[in-house]
């Protein structure tokens, strides 16, 4: 899953629009133009303008403080590891806390995971005469958790751990104010959500704060955190310091997917951005050196689909246009900003790498909610897409008036009846085969109903080309239903070439009441076969309140982990992880 606060504007302030509205009639008079130009350049006039703007913001702030009450969202005991933690401040050595053995051929590098870690004690709701609005459970400022692996000349492994918030512009703003400032604007009573939307924009020029809490990726030797409502933040992978916004040298100024994909063969980065005002969906291609936006195109969609991931093949880009949408007009009419319409249309688009809206070939498919693509590739005349597909969306939450906990709990209950709303959040591994010549679609569930899975990963050398293996986190349906929050009690290895009616699935189950997040595949540097490597993941044991990192041999998948590393600090459940092989710089504190 991921953060979906997509409605943040890129404008620095709402005031320029305000000014233009009132000065435009005056500027139409040619006799006034020289005078106005001189007045605008006058330092005294500029200071007055600044004072008026600051006074206006203070006035609106005072109204917000009087009319809106921020309250903490309570957590159940079963939700305790969704609570935020404090920054530990510096890397801490954990070499002596290893149970088992780090393999000799395990690569040096950084295992890093992103996830929400709200400021000011946790997620908030606001109460006012207009009703209540609340942060969705996926909101919360991003925090990086990093485990560093360094090998000394004597063969000894050194391991250290660190965590740190991602300091977006809005993070710094709220931290400087020392209090919650952005009103929740995603979930709740529509009048309260709409007013939060408007007041946030009046005060900050933004509908919602930037989160950067979903993923971490590398491009051209630089490292970035991302979430869909803003451009990525460049990260110092060694100190976890935030270096600032990455706008591709000023050429990309809209939201940016959490899952950009490197094009096979070229190393170019394929990206997308969705936004609730036209253009709803833009696709871009960034040069392999990260310096230039080589291609940027509006796909001219007629709705804003909340598309979380893009696919690539050797020649094509793959676009998921499914019926989870953001609609400001719907919000203005009293409906929810984000809504999944199970009766709505769903389609997959295939476009040439440097194509445009007219070159997209669309394939109608059964309505569904799919956040994560496992892989996509070309085979004969077909484009094949493998993904984790559900019947309903966990984002953003129930319609206002429904009991939130019961709604989430029901969606995680494991059942076999796919027509029921029970279990509708449980995603299965699914395949679409799109025939580029005939336009035909073949789609099927590859894993049945025994396992529910999400957060897929593969050996990244196989992105965009045919792969034999995939890996996922396995949902613990019972634990998720009890907590009303997703929990992953194991891992799965998928054998795509071992197919009868269903594909073979190998399961690695964790100890009781132990759940993972941020699992990723670590390839052997000299690996020959696709599954030469390990799965590494953060885990938390809720009985002992202990957080660890497991390393599992991908070839001996159901065996005990080869190493378990106990961490000095609790690691809350989060989103996506990545392993970054070591650079020449020395890793911290080792």
Residue 230, marked binder: no
For residue 224, the tally of other CB atoms under 10 A from its CB is: 22
Token pair recorded at residue 92 = 């801490």
Burial of 145 (0-12, 13-18, 19+ CB in 10 A): buried
Q: How far apart are CA 202 and CA 199, in angstroms?
A: 5
Do 502 and 560 form a contact (C-beta atoms < 8 A)? Answer: no
Q: How far apart are CA 310 and CA 571, in angstroms?
A: 29
Side-chain half-sphere CA neighbours of 337 within 13 A: 29
Mapped onto helix, strand or coil, the DSSP state of residue 18 is: helix
Q: How far apart are CA 462 and CA 469, in angstroms?
A: 10
Burial 573-590 (b: 16+ CB within 10 A, else e): bbbbbbbbebeeeebbeb
Q: How far apart are CA 68 and CA 131, in angstroms?
A: 10
Q: How far apart are CA 539 and CA 518, in angstroms?
A: 9
Do 10 and 495 form a contact (C-beta atoms < 8 A)? Answer: no
Do 283 and 317 form a contact (C-beta atoms < 8 A)? Answer: yes
Residue 576, marked binder: yes
Q: Is the dihedral of CA 470, 109, 92, 151 positive or negative?
A: positive
The per-residue DSSP string of 438-494 comes to: T--EEEEESSTTT--EEEEE--GGGTTS--SEEEEEEE-HHHHHHHTS--EEEEEEE
The helix or strand, by DSSP H or E, that contains position 33, with its residue range, turns out to be helix 33-41
Three-class SS of 174-241: HHHHCCCCCCCCCEECHHHHHHHHHHHHHHHCCCCCCCCCCEEEEECCEEEEECCCCCCEEECCCCCC
* Residues making up the binding site for Fe cation: 259, 308, 372, 576
Residues in the annotated binding site: 259, 308, 372, 576
């Amino acid at each position: 899953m991921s953060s979906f606060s997509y409605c943040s504007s890129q404008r620095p302030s709402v005031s320029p629009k305000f000014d233009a509205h009132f000065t435009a009639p005056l500027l139409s008079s040619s006799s006034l133009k020289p005078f106005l130009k001189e007045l605008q350049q006058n330092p005294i006039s500029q200071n007055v303008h600044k004072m008026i703007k600051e006074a206006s913001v203070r006035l609106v702030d005072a109204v917000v403080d009087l009319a809106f009450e921020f309250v903490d969202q309570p957590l159940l005991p079963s939700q305790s590891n969704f609570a935020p933690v404090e920054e530990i401040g510096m890397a801490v050595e954990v070499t002596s806390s290893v149970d088992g053995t780090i393999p000799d051929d395990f690569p040096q590098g950084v295992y890093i995971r992103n996830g929400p870690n709200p400021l000011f004690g946790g997620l908030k709701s606001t109460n006012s005469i207009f009703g209540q609005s609340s942060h969705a459970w996926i909101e919360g400022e991003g925090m990086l958790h990093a485990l560093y692996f360094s090998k000394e000349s004597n063969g000894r492994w050194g391991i250290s751990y660190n965590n740190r918030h991602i300091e977006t512009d809005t993070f710094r703003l709220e931290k400087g104010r020392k209090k919650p400032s952005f009103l929740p604007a995603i979930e709740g009573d529509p009048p309260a959500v709409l007013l939060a939307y408007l007041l946030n924009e009046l005060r900050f020029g933004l509908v919602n704060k930037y989160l950067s809490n979903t993923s971490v990726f590398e491009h051209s030797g630089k490292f970035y955190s991302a979430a869909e409502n803003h451009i990525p933040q460049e990260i110092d992978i060694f100190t976890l310091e935030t270096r600032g916004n990455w706008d591709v040298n000023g050429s990309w100024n809209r939201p940016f997917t959490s899952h950009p994909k490197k094009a096979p063969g070229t190393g170019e980065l394929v990206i997308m951005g969705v936004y609730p005002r036209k253009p709803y969906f833009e696709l871009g291609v960034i040069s392999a050196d990260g310096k230039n936006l080589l291609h940027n195109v509006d796909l001219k969609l007629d709705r804003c689909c909340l598309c979380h991931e893009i696919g690539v093949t050797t020649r094509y880009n793959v676009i998921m246009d499914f019926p989870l949408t953001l609609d400001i007009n719907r919000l203005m009419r009293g409906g929810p900003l984000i809504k999944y319409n199970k009766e709505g249309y769903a389609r997959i688009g295939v476009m040439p790498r440097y194509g445009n809206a007219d070159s997209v070939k669309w394939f109608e498919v059964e309505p569904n909610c799919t956040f994560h693509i496992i892989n996509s590739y070309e085979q004969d005349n077909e484009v094949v897409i493998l993904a984790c597909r559900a019947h309903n969306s966990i984002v953003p939450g129930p319609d206002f008036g429904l009991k939130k906990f019961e709604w989430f709990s029901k969606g995680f209950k494991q059942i076999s009846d796919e027509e029921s709303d029970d279990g509708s959040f449980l995603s299965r591994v699914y395949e679409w085969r799109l025939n580029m010549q005939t336009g035909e679609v073949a789609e099927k569930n590859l894993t049945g109903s025994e396992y529910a899975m999400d957060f897929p990963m593969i050996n990244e050398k196989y992105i965009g080309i045919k792969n034999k293996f995939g890996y996922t986190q396995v949902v613990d349906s019972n634990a998720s239903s009890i907590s009303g929050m997703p929990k992953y009690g194991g891992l799965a290895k998928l054998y795509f070439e071992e197919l009868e009616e269903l594909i073979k699935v190998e399961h690695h189950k964790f100890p009781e009441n132990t759940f993972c997040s941020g699992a990723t595949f670590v390839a052997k540097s000299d690996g020959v076969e696709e599954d030469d490597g390990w799965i590494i993941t953060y885990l938390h044991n809720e009985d002992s309140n202990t957080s660890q990192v497991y390393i599992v041999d991908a070839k001996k998948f159901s065996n005990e982990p080869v190493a378990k590393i106990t961490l000095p600090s609790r690691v809350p459940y989060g989103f996506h992880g990545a392993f970054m092989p070591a650079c020449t710089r020395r890793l911290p504190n080792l």
